[in-house]
Amino acid sequence: MMQGDKKVTQKDDLVIRFAGDSGDGMQLSGTLFSDASALTGNDIATFPDYPAEIRAPHNTIAGVSGFQVHVGSHIYSSGDKCDIIVAMNPASLKSNLKWAKKGATIIVDIDTFTDSAMEKAGYTGDPFSEELEHAYTIVKAPISSFTERIGSEMGVDKKVSEKSRNMFALGVIFYITHKKLDQTNAYLARKFAKKTQVVQLNQAVLREGYEFADKLELIHSHIVEVATAKMPKGRYRNITGNVATAWGLLAASERSGRPLFLGSYPITPATDVMVELAKHKALGAKVFQAEDEIAGICSAIGASYAGALACTSTSGPGLSLKSEALGLAVMVELPLVVVDVQRGGPSTGLPTKTEQSDLNQALYGRNGEAPLIVVAASSSANCFYWAYTAAKLALEHMTPVILMTDGYLGNGSQLFRIPKVADLPGITPRLAKPNDPNYRPFRRDPVSFAREWALPGMEGLRHRVGGLEKCPDGPLTTDPENHALMVYNRQEKVNRVANYIPDQEVTGNPDGDLLVVGWGGTSGALTLAVEEMNNEGKKVAYTHFNYICPLPKNTGDILRKYKKIVVCELNNGQFAGYLRTQFPECPMRQYNKVMGLPFEVGELKEAFNKILGE
């Protein structure tokens, strides 16, 4: 089909955004495209962009739902601005044009540009002004009518065939990106196995889109072939951060021998961690959908007392509600993993947008001196490892651990190199020995300061725990010295975790003039920005934190080496503030963004260049 006279440009990476009404199936198009790309050797990352409403009125801006795919040779994030945008109706075009790169290709379903739809989208004049046509390559595809026609040829009702419009757009994209349809055809056959007509319809529409593009001269000079990735050997899959988190916990449960318990309550964007775990009763995962977040964490604390690898998952407002019980977990020194998939705050805030503004709450949001471990994942795929690590630390150090991810990581997807569970680091829970006459509830390991875990049902270890201060032997006491000692011990136990974690690393150009500091979900854009700058001859060092509390032991050494430090985060400077409490001697600049959006490489480079120039 593909004729030899067409120009195919090679590119390192490509960003495509599929945008349409909430019901238009943009998420599916995007997923199919990214899966096909991955299978043909590209690295990928994806990110969905939902509205807060489930299905706001048809053709309104509020109802637009997007899905962005970034494919290429080495992909750290789902990308900033787009090379290609699909807009299934006027509202999608209107609200997504701001994401287009200069000269981007924009594919619209021209059939949807009726007067009433344009008015609903807020257009007063012609959406396709001369400037617009000049600035972009606009492909006006008659998607609705073509799809309807194919449907009617197959005797399918318009209401049904309409649902395949997304396949047309996908076909166009496949053509433009110089890819084959086989894999997607196979997927469609698998997915709708029992509905032959649906398979046929979708496949036909897909092909129609592809052929439409083939006939469109306009496009011929815009065909791109994206470089494939050189990835370490191994078996791969595509995975979202929330699923990776769930699987990491499952793996930790299997390796530690402690049955998994999740006590949780739905909340965007964390719900999918629970939804995923709820599927895996066969693997022994017990999921309890509690009546609220407080019952979620309290049930987890109870389960932990009873011997489970206990977890609770939530987002900002839910973490707020868990504050009091987190203090209890600190006090009773039981293992507990709290997953916080951050979103835009404060309060209900921007539930479907991403942010890193729960850090302060994770570090400090409890009454009294209530130290605990905080770690953060930095990519959708490594949510798996950080969930695993969080569980390992909780079980081995007998303490609650907060794992910070965010909506961007949680909903976004990435390639994931599948590990063997046996190859993961071992986990040894600190179980007490039945009938040990020396067992005392708060006796500590002299090295780690962790206490032992005696489970109800074990013989000869009956004891009581609780939120009131206790002496190391167990009973209650208000003795001043004892309180001072226990406060010290609980803090020291967390501090000593630093002895068990690897050193912090510096990447980019370690001898650079500027140290870029990041933490958590921003590593994609930061890595790329630093890489590009070093490629451009600037000298920039970069260090990204996953261990937040305690910090790796060499953190101070690193920070003290650089004259210029910039701490970059999607909040008003919470990590920077935290670093200052520990390393006040290191002057730090901040680069902050609180817009419900991830960093863009461009803005980062601009900021770093400015600092270098100062």
Partner 1 sequence: MTKRHFVPKADIDYTKADFTSDQMVKWCPGCGDHAILASLLNVFPKTHHKKENICMVSGIGCSSRIPYYVDTYGFHSIHGRACAVATGVKLANPSLSVWINMGDGDSMAIGGNHLIHIVRRNLDVNVTIFNNEIYGLTKGQYSPTTKFGQITKTSPFGTIDYPFNPGELIMGAQGTFYARALDVMPPLTTEIMLKAAQHDGTSVVEVLQNCMIFNDKAHAAITDKAVRDDKIIILEHGKPMIFGKERNKGLRFNGRCLEAVTIGENGVTMDDIMIHDETTEDTGIHMMLARMKGDLPVAIGVIRNVVKPTYTELYEDQMDECKANGKYKCVDDLLNSGDTWEVE
Ligand X SMILES: Cc1ncc(C[n+]2csc(CCOP(=O)(O)OP(=O)(O)O)c2C)c(N)n1
Is residue 349 close enough to count as binding partner 1 by CB under 8 A? no
- 192 CB-near residues (< 8 Å, 6+ apart): 198, 199, 202
3-state secondary structure (DSSP) of residue 595: coil
Do residues 572 and 592 touch, judged by C-beta distance below 8 A?
A: yes
What phi and psi values does residue 587 have, to the nearest 5 degrees? -70, 135
CB of 367 vs ligand X, minimal distance in Å: 9
Residues in binding contact with partner 1, number by CB under 8 A = 91
Q: Please state, in angstroms and rounded to a whole number, the distance separating the CA atoms of residues 247 and 481.
A: 44
> Which of ligand X, ligand SF4, partner 1, none lies near 502, with the C-beta cut-off 5 to 8 A by kind?
none
Q: Which residues between 587 and 606 bind a copy of itself (CB under 8 A)?
A: 587-588, 593-597
Q: Please state, in angstroms and rounded to a whole number, the distance separating the CA atoms of residues 196 and 155.
A: 13
3-state secondary structure (DSSP) of residue 551: coil
Q: Which residues between 217 and 246 bind partner 1 (CB under 8 A)?
A: 231-238
Q: Which residues between 301 and 340 bind ligand X (CB under 6 A)?
A: 317-318, 321
Q: Which residues between 371 and 430 bind partner 1 (CB under 8 A)?
A: 418-421
Q: Which is nearer to a copy of itself, 207 or 353 (CB)?
A: 353
Q: Please state, in angstroms and rounded to a whole number, the distance separating the CA atoms of residues 251 and 260.
A: 10
Is residue 346 close enough to count as binding ligand X by CB under 6 A? no
Q: Residue 140 pairs with which residues in a beta bridge?
A: 108
Maximum Cα–Cα distance across the chain:
87
Do residues 18 and 65 touch, judged by C-beta distance below 8 A?
A: no
Q: What is the dihedral of CA 403, 550, 292, 22, to 10 degrees?
A: -30
Binding mask 271-300 for ligand X (x = CB under 6 A): ----------------------x-------
Is residue 116 packed enough to be buried (19+ CB in 10 Å), middle (13-18) or exposed (0-12)? exposed
Q: Which is nearer to a copy of itself, 20 or 72 (CB)?
A: 20
Is the Cα torsion angle 145, 146, 151, 153 positive or negative in sign? positive
Q: Which is nearer to partner 1, 247 or 599 (CB)?
A: 247
> Which of ligand SF4, ligand X, a copy of itself, none lies near 266, with the C-beta cut-off 5 to 8 A by kind?
ligand X
Task: Tell the residue number behind the tokens 């101070």, with chain if given.
Answer: 556
Q: Which residues between 132 and 161 bind partner 1 (CB under 8 A)?
A: none
CB of 570 vs a copy of itself, minimal distance in Å: 10
Q: Which is nearer to ligand X, 266 or 577 (CB)?
A: 266
Do residues 95 and 51 touch, judged by C-beta distance below 8 A?
A: no
> Which of ligand SF4, a copy of itself, partner 1, none lies near 271, with the C-beta cut-off 5 to 8 A by kind?
partner 1
CB of 59 vs ligand SF4, minimal distance in Å: 16
Q: Which stretch binds partner 1 (CB under 8 A): 303-311, 511-519, 554-562, 575-583?
A: 303-311
Q: Which of 9, 348, 428, 435 binds ligand X (CB under 6 A)?
A: 348
Instruction: Give whole-number Cα distances, 173 to 131, 132, 135, 596, in Å.
Output: 24, 21, 20, 28
Do residues 49 and 66 touch, judged by C-beta distance below 8 A?
A: yes
Q: Which stretch binds a copy of itself (CB under 8 A): 103-111, 394-402, 406-414, 466-474?
A: 466-474
3-state secondary structure (DSSP) of residue 47: strand
Do residues 449 and 496 touch, judged by C-beta distance below 8 A?
A: yes
Is residue 57 close enough to count as binding partner 1 by CB under 8 A? yes
Is residue 266 close enough to count as binding ligand X by CB under 6 A? yes
Q: Which of 77, 312, 522, 571 binds a copy of itself (CB under 8 A)?
A: 571
CB-nearest residue to ligand SF4:
54
Q: Which stretch binds partner 1 (CB under 8 A): 106-114, 289-297, 402-410, 570-578?
A: 289-297
DSSP string, 190-217: HHTTT-HHHHHHHHHHHHHHHHHHHH-H
> Which of a copy of itself, ligand SF4, ligand X, none lies near 54, with the C-beta cut-off 5 to 8 A by kind?
ligand SF4
Binding site for ligand X (CB under 6 A): 265-267, 293, 317-318, 321, 348
